[in-house]
Structure 1
Amino acid sequence: MKLLPRLAAPVAALVLAGLTATACAPQTSDTSSGKDEKTGDLRVWLFQEVNNGPKAKVVDRAVAAYEKAHQGSKVDVQYIPVDSRAEKIKAAFNDPSSAPDVIEYGNTDTAGYVRDGGLADISKEFAAWDEAADTDEAARASVTVDGKTYGAPYFVGVRALYYRTDLFEKHSIDVPETLDEVASAAKKIRKAEPGLYGIAVGGAYTYGAMPFLWAHGGGLAEEKGGSYTSTLADEKSQAGIAAYTDLFGPDNCPAAKCAQMGGNDTVTAFAAGKAGMAIGGDFSHQAMEDGKVKGKYAVVPLPGTEKGEIAPAFAGGNNLGVLKSTERRSLAVDLVKELAGKKAQSELFDAMGFLPTFTDTRAEAAAEEPFVKPFVQTLDAGATFVPASPAWARIDSSLVLPTMFQEIVSGRKDVAAASRDAAKKMDDAFASAG
């Protein structure tokens, strides 16, 4: 594989659902067509990338392979804007006559789409697919709700620790091997270079903060009997929250500037040479190459609380699913296998830099593209995920976690009070989701 310059980040900040995910029962009417015609054309909706040309070429090759194997069946591919996908896909669920047969969707959407009755259960077909045996467990979980499979993983993305090699060498700082050492290194850089952030962090950077909770043994919520309860206020979660929010201050990243920063802001700061470290994704690589830090940085997995540990990561990615309303289920499943198969995922990595969801294909990518290695190591160490509940979309969009972080770093609330209030908001959302 030869990786071309990164043209677009994954189109949505997407989360891998839990291995034993459970969701509420569908709340819409049954849109299943009850048909499985063996001939006929298919319609596909895929996400429009910032520069869609390279992706479209990969898709065209996969479609050509499908059409060659299915004489008489043609595929119409439409690329839809990411920002308006929710309304468009929901409308398709409610109007089967205008719906596509196959869609690309973010894995944060899995539980909600299953609740809405829009996705077909393809458990049997996925289990019988030879290539599926090499799907990484986290990616497999991203299409799993209540033990059933609702699609095929398409690509995955994850974050790790970017650091300035020149600054670390100049100030004789060792590469951090624990989260405490990350904090210590950040303070050393800030003291030696007052104009820089030691590590750029953001009060609105939810998915950069999550590894701190998980590394300390905490988490967001636990599932029992089909419902979720927030664990943000638990002792171990509070320890992780404190470890992250302690990075805000005059000795690293001043709250007045950093409290409102999100993930893009922290990556931009690092790329512009304004920080000694940052938590960024494999999808942030091109931004660094285009920035002032080109040739002066390296990447390692974000460490855990003990040496030799990797902090559990938030992993994102997209999936491909078959709509329940399709009248050509078997053909649609075959097309999904072609689009999301090893050959297509390998080509998608070459074209876009999206990490494959197959362990063997991803290992090949890491062997040929050294920058990928720390991200693959992070994935291989195991990922921890947000709750596989339709409520997560509400929790995320209502900024429950950023509000909690910002209340703490501003001094308005301590960790205990802010985490309790956030946990209550999460529990209210879980209750309303059913």
Structure 2
Amino acid sequence: MKVRALSAARPAARVMAAVLLSALAAAGCAPSTSDNSAKGDAKSGTLRVWLFREVDNAPKEKVVDRAVAAFTARHQDVKVDISYIPVDTRAQKIKAAFNDPSSAPDLIEYGNTDTAGYVEDGGLADISKEFAAWPETADTDPTARRSVTVDGKVYGAPLFVGVRALYYRTDVFRELGIEVPRTLAEVAETAKRIRAERPELYGLAVGGAYTYGAMPFIWANGGELAREKDGRYTAAIDDPAARTGIRAYTSLFGDHNCPASACAQWGGNDTVQAFASGKAGMAIGGDFNHQAVESGAVKGRYAVVPLPGRRPGDIAPAFAGGNNIGVLKSSGHRTLAVELMKSLAGKETQAELFDAMGFLPTFTDVRAEAAKRRPFVAPFVKTLDAGTKFVPASPAWASIDSGLVLPTMFQEIVSGRKDVDDAAGAAADKMDEAFRS
């Protein structure tokens, strides 16, 4: 539901308006508000922050607690309340916060694909001046800077950049005499062999709701999510090349690899957890999943390589993901919120998040230093260097993503409810409807 301003109710209609707003809330949709802009700029009180909960969240919490402690040491009259929210349900929760400023946090962590939609909804504050005046941002890489920029204005600070690569079990590969796959076709063949010879394992953990794990299959086969012309987007998910990639990904669901009954509902965290817990021979995971795998049952028995493309030597294009930290437009503590944002997304914190979680820093100097200290980032840096892809830079993507258009498409196929052509066509229709709205 988009944020729209309501005109002030006339005195005689206020009771009716209150009843309507109560009904909307009871129906599970937060009411629109007449004004979600900040009321003042308090220099004391409590700052509320929503951050994403990771697969293994404890290391992240320690880094955040240190950054918060440093901030509150400088601001004695300020308290900080941190809440960790599920990534999969972020859209509903954050949109509700935009529509109800009285219960909204001051700062949120958000995915870089959400920037344009959140700006259109009026939820994020324009911090262009503060960002430009922050000395550290001189070292922000251009891709990360673009992830917080809409129409030339800055709406947050990049927190980390993330790409995915292929995690695989070195002990299983050695036991079965398997070579590291060099193409996507070999990835599928390897997955089937692992499943056949070690039936207690999934060959390659895949998920019907794992959109960003599926996209490399589409892009590697020459497909695209959408086309852009004169600033307008139209769906391309039903083009022949995209359908080839969809078939390649959905063919991995079944008893021969990852049964749909178990895997159709999985998202990215589920597939990583399956690998980390020792239940899969391979998984497509991010640099940001490194700590979760290190903390799992496969520690010391895995390696990572770039996900291969169609031909030997190719690297499948990865989604250039990552998260940002933004100040809400409704915050009554704008100055403090911007300062806390700098503490949470600054160079020191990004370096610590890399060590704790494997999150790749968005500052080029911090990332270069991190790569020297921790060689595990090499396959992810190679993936970045090979060329990455991004989702359509349209506010409509937020509704496409939160509406589960692509996961629904994958799940319809793997469940047998629709074939690839019908499911892709239906997804394209939904995407085009969103682009037109």
Query: What range describes the TM-score normalised by the shorter chain of this pair?
Result: 0.7 to 0.9
Please tell me whether the aligned partners of residues 42 and 101 of structure 1 are also in contact (alpha carbons under 8 angstroms).
no
Q: Which residue of structure 2 aligns with residue 153 of structure 1?
A: 158
| 1:121 partner letter | D
Q: Which residue of structure 1 aligns with residue 10 of structure 2?
A: none
Distance of 2:405 and 2:242 partners within structure 1 = 15
Q: Which residue of structure 1 aligns with residue 15 of structure 2?
A: none
Q: Which residue of structure 2 aligns with residue 166 of structure 1?
A: 171
Ranked by relative contact order (alpha carbons within 8 Å, sequence separation 6 or more), the top structure is: 1
Q: Which residue of structure 1 aligns with residue 347 of structure 2?
A: 342
| Alignment counterpart, residue 77 of structure 1, candidates 73, 77, 80 | 80
Q: Which residue of structure 1 aligns with residue 300 of structure 2?
A: 295
| Alignment counterpart, residue 219 of structure 1, candidates 210, 215, 224 | 224
Distance of 2:408 and 2:103 partners within structure 1 = 40
Please tell me whether the aligned partners of residues 42 and 332 of structure 1 are also in contact (alpha carbons under 8 angstroms).
no
Distance of 1:268 and 1:334 partners within structure 2 = 35
Distance of 1:365 and 1:42 partners within structure 2 = 36
Q: Which residue of structure 1 aligns with residue 382 of structure 2?
A: 377
Give the fraction of aligned pairs with identical amino acids, expressed as a percent. Answer: 66
After the TM superposition, which residues 246-261 of structure 1 pair with which residues of structure 2 at under 5 Å, given as runs? 246-261=251-266
Residue 271 of structure 1 and its aligned partner are, at CA, apart by: 2.9
Distance of 1:188 and 1:88 partners within structure 2 = 42
Q: Which residue of structure 2 aligns with residue 238 of structure 1?
A: 243
Please tell me whether the aligned partners of residues 291 and 358 of structure 2 are also in contact (alpha carbons under 8 angstroms).
no
Q: 1:429 to 1:215 in 2, by over 3 A?
A: same
User: Any idea what SS the aligned residue of 1:347 has?
Assistant: helix
| Alignment counterpart, residue 369 of structure 2, candidates 364, 369, 387 | 364
Q: Is the counterpart of residue 422 in structure 1 residue 435 in structure 2? A: no
Please tell me whether the aligned partners of residues 40 and 328 of structure 1 are also in contact (alpha carbons under 8 angstroms).
yes
Q: Is the counterpart of residue 400 in structure 1 residue 408 in structure 2? A: no
User: Any idea what SS the aligned residue of 2:342 has?
Assistant: helix
Please tell me whether the aligned partners of residues 400 and 422 of structure 1 are also in contact (alpha carbons under 8 angstroms).
yes
Q: Which residue of structure 2 aligns with residue 182 of structure 1?
A: 187
Distance of 1:108 and 1:297 partners within structure 2 = 30
| 1:55 partner letter | V
Q: Which residue of structure 1 aligns with residue 204 of structure 2?
A: 199
| Alignment counterpart, residue 44 of structure 1, candidates 31, 43, 47 | 47
Please tell me whether the aligned partners of residues 188 and 198 of structure 1 are also in contact (alpha carbons under 8 angstroms).
yes
| Alignment counterpart, residue 57 of structure 1, candidates 56, 65, 83 | 65
Q: Which residue of structure 2 aligns with residue 115 of structure 1?
A: 120
Distance of 2:270 and 2:344 partners within structure 1 = 33
Q: 1:284 to 1:154 in 2, by over 3 A?
A: closer
Distance of 2:287 and 2:193 partners within structure 1 = 26
Aligned residues: 402
Q: 1:211 to 1:75 in 2, by over 3 A?
A: farther
Residue 150 of structure 1 and its aligned partner are, at CA, apart by: 0.8
| 1:387 partner letter | P
Residue 283 of structure 1 and its aligned partner are, at CA, apart by: 3.6
After the TM superposition, which residues 275-290 of structure 1 pair with which residues of structure 2 at under 5 Å, given as runs? 275-290=280-295
Please tell me whether the aligned partners of residues 395 and 426 of structure 1 are also in contact (alpha carbons under 8 angstroms).
yes
User: Any idea what SS the aligned residue of 1:304 has?
Assistant: coil
Please tell me whether the aligned partners of residues 209 and 267 of structure 2 are also in contact (alpha carbons under 8 angstroms).
yes
Residue 233 of structure 1 and its aligned partner are, at CA, apart by: 0.6
Q: 1:420 to 1:74 in 2, by over 3 A?
A: same
Give the CA RMSD over aligned residues. 3.4
Q: 1:370 to 1:109 in 2, by over 3 A?
A: same
Q: 1:197 to 1:325 in 2, by over 3 A?
A: closer
| 2:226 partner letter | A
| 1:205 partner letter | Y
| 2:312 partner letter | K
Please tell me whether the aligned partners of residues 288 and 360 of structure 2 are also in contact (alpha carbons under 8 angstroms).
no
Task: Please report the TM-score for the alignment, with normalisation by the length of structure 2.
Answer: 0.79
Please tell me whether the aligned partners of residues 50 and 105 of structure 2 are also in contact (alpha carbons under 8 angstroms).
no
Please tell me whether the aligned partners of residues 136 and 358 of structure 1 are also in contact (alpha carbons under 8 angstroms).
yes
Q: Is the counterpart of residue 209 in structure 1 residue 214 in structure 2? A: yes
Distance of 1:97 and 1:254 partners within structure 2 = 45
Stretches of structure 1 that go unaligned for 5 or more consecutive residues are 1-24, 68-72
Q: 1:345 to 1:171 in 2, by over 3 A?
A: same
Please tell me whether the aligned partners of residues 92 and 99 of structure 1 are also in contact (alpha carbons under 8 angstroms).
yes
Distance of 1:196 and 1:33 partners within structure 2 = 52
Distance of 1:381 and 1:176 partners within structure 2 = 18
| 2:425 partner letter | R
Residue 152 of structure 1 and its aligned partner are, at CA, apart by: 0.7
Residue 99 of structure 1 and its aligned partner are, at CA, apart by: 6.0
| 1:263 partner letter | G
Structure 1 range deviating more: 402-411 or 325-334? 325-334
Distance of 2:101 and 2:266 partners within structure 1 = 41
Q: Which residue of structure 1 aligns with residue 311 of structure 2?
A: 306
Q: 1:214 to 1:147 in 2, by over 3 A?
A: farther
Distance of 1:127 and 1:375 partners within structure 2 = 29
| 1:215 partner letter | A
Q: Which residue of structure 2 aligns with residue 20 of structure 1?
A: none
Distance of 2:206 and 2:287 partners within structure 1 = 17
